[in-house]
Amino acid sequence: MAGTPLKVYLVAGELSGDRLGAGLMRTLKTRHPAVEFRGIGGERMLAEGIDSRFPLETLSVMGLVEVLRHLPRLIGVRRTLRRDALAWQPDIMVGIDAPDFNLGLERQLREAGIPTAHYVSPSVWAWRQGRVKSIARAVDAMLTFLPFEAAFYARHRVPVAFVGHPLADELPLENDRAAARAALALPRDAEVLAVLPGSRASEIRFMGAAFLEVAARLCRQRPALQVVIPAATPQRREELDALLASHPDLGGRVTLRDGQAHEAMVASDMVLLTSGTAALEAMLCHRPMLVAYRMAPATHWLARRLVKTEWISLPNLIARETLVPELIQDAASVEAITARLAALLDDSAERAALEARFAEMHATLQRDASRRACEAIEALVEGRPLPASVTPEGIEEVTS
């Protein structure tokens, strides 16, 4: 890599990928000050210097069925990115999550002689396990957050590096609930529920109204309860404002914020959220949570037949047991969500035990992930063996 600037093509598909990509870019810049970035990124990656060819939300489509409507557009975007990358000739292409889009692009670029890596494993261990063969053709390495993911790839002889989770590095092992409440102007001694209905328009459509009705019912039952709702984007803020207009009974009980999801979780006694990265972040904030999720009926019908795992939320998957209640599809009724949250809010001993367990899990995921991902990328560019691997039994072997 000496003599010419390192050129890295990065493609992120949503807000969580933008955050991960920005951390990776920041670390690469400390090791290679002249590095150049191109591809797709959001505000955080733009701030780190990526030349983004499309807006971040271009790839943000949720659900098996919903993707079909957008398929012609997504194929066109991938074709454009392929031409753009081949003209630019990066030293490596790194797809960040968005596997249904990125793995196809990675395969095309790898076949053209460009090294490729995928950052954030798709849930291939949970459903459509046959995809591991196409993943092996698409990437020179899979960079995983979790040891059990790396063990899966090692068993299938796909080059893998377990790097840990960047969020686990970013968030402290000790957090200050009182300081978070002060930052959000929440009463110090109030009971606080954080509500995170999702970062995608489809998640607000499926869960937004239900979550607000749950909040309204709990506020009627619990006079001291305060509700804080962090809006993931300005578009989600507009949608949530419109939904709140139909709940005048929540006036004075709801704090709606732009961003500040971390502060909202730390400030809370309990978190209500849809699944995804938010569940992991709540775990890393050491806060008890309830996961509720609905999707298009056809998507749910397909998922029930394809998914081979007992859980959908990352805290449960990491623990390999049910620590977090999961209410999915028909089970995610307003009545059921309200009842489970009320029971958890009443059980301070269970909440304290969960906070302690989540703190232990947090410590196991702190691995300086961005640095280790950078080391894996450097190894691929230079044609060296990956610096870290996991045995099929799931025991990490650091060889760097």
Selected residue with higher pLDDT from 174 and 387 = 174
Give the global pTM: 0.72
Provide the percentage of residues in the chain whose pLDDT is more than 70: 88
CATH architecture, domain defined by 7-164+367-398? 3-Layer(aba) Sandwich (3.40)
Q: Establish how many alpha carbons lie within 13 A of residue 221's alpha carbon, considering only the half-sphere containing its beta carbon.
A: 15
In the chain, domain spans: 7-164+367-398, 173-364
Q: What is the pLDDT of residues 165-213, one digit of tens each?
A: 888 998 999 999 999 999 999 999 999 999 999 877 778 888 888 999 9
Q: How many CB atoms lie within 10 A of CB 373?
A: 26
Task: Please give the Cα distance from 337 to 340 (Å, whole number).
Answer: 5
Question: So what's the pLDDT on residue 30?
Answer: 96
Question: So what's the pLDDT on residue 144?
Answer: 93
CATH code 3.30.360.10 for 173-364:
no
For residues 21-29, average pLDDT: 96
Record the tokens describing residue 144, joined without a space: 């995983």
Q: What is the pLDDT of residues 315-367, one digit of tens each?
A: 998 888 999 999 988 899 999 999 999 999 999 999 999 999 999 999 988 88
Same fold, 7-164+367-398 and 173-364: yes
Cβ atoms of 25 and 45 closer than 8 Å: yes
Q: Which residues of 267-289 are buried (b: 16+ CB within 10 A; e: fewer)?
A: bbbbbbbbbbbbbbbbbbbbbbb
Task: Please give the Cα distance from 301 to 286 (Å, whole number).
Answer: 33
Reported confidence tier of residue 65, pLDDT bands at 50, 70, 90: very low
Reported confidence tier of residue 311, pLDDT bands at 50, 70, 90: confident
Q: Which residue has the tokens 């670390």?
A: 27
Record the tokens describing residue 330, joined without a space: 């028909």
For residues 258-266, average pLDDT: 93
Cβ atoms of 374 and 28 closer than 8 Å: yes
Reported confidence tier of residue 400, pLDDT bands at 50, 70, 90: very low
3-state SS record for the chain? CCCCCCEEEEEECCHHHHHHHHHHHHHHHHHCCCCEEEEECCHHHHHCCCEECCCHHHHCCCCHHHHHHHHHHHHHHHHHHHHHHHHHCCCEEEEECCHHHHHHHHHHHHHCCCCEEEECCCCCCCECCCHHHHHHHHCCEEEECCHHHHHHHHHCCCCEEECCCHHHHHCCCCCCHHHHHHHCCCCCCCEEEEEECCCCHHHHHHHHHHHHHHHHHHHHHCCCEEEEEEECCHHHHHHHHHHHCCCHHHCCCEEEEECCHHHHHHHCCEEEECCCHHHHHHHHCCCCEEEEECCCHHHHHHHHHHECCCCCCHHHHHHCCCCCCEEEHHHCCHHHHHHHHHHHHHCHHHHHHHHHHHHHHHHHHCCCHHHHHHHHHHHHHHCCCCCEEECCCCCEEECC
Record the tokens describing residue 61, joined without a space: 């489509």
Q: Nearest 10 degrees: CA dihedral of 26, 237, 13, 322?
A: 90
Question: So what's the pLDDT on residue 305?
Answer: 59
The yes-or-no verdict on residue 243 having pLDDT over 70 is yes
Question: So what's the pLDDT on residue 179?
Answer: 96
Task: Please give the Cα distance from 136 to 103 (Å, whole number).
Answer: 10
Q: What is the pLDDT of residues 363-380, one digit of tens each?
A: 988 889 999 999 999 999
Amino acid type, 245:
A
Amino acid type, 396:
E
Question: So what's the pLDDT on residue 396?
Answer: 42
Least confident of 64-68, 153-157, 216-220, 283-287: 64-68
Provide the percentage of residues in the chain whose pLDDT is more than 90: 62
Task: Please give the Cα distance from 29 to 47 (Å, whole number).
Answer: 13
Amino acid type, 51:
D
Q: Which are the contacts of 66, defined by CB distance < 8 A and separation ≥ 6? A: 202, 296, 299
Inter-CA distances, 368 with 9, 44, 284, 365, 374, Å: 22, 19, 15, 9, 10
Reported confidence tier of residue 392, pLDDT bands at 50, 70, 90: very low
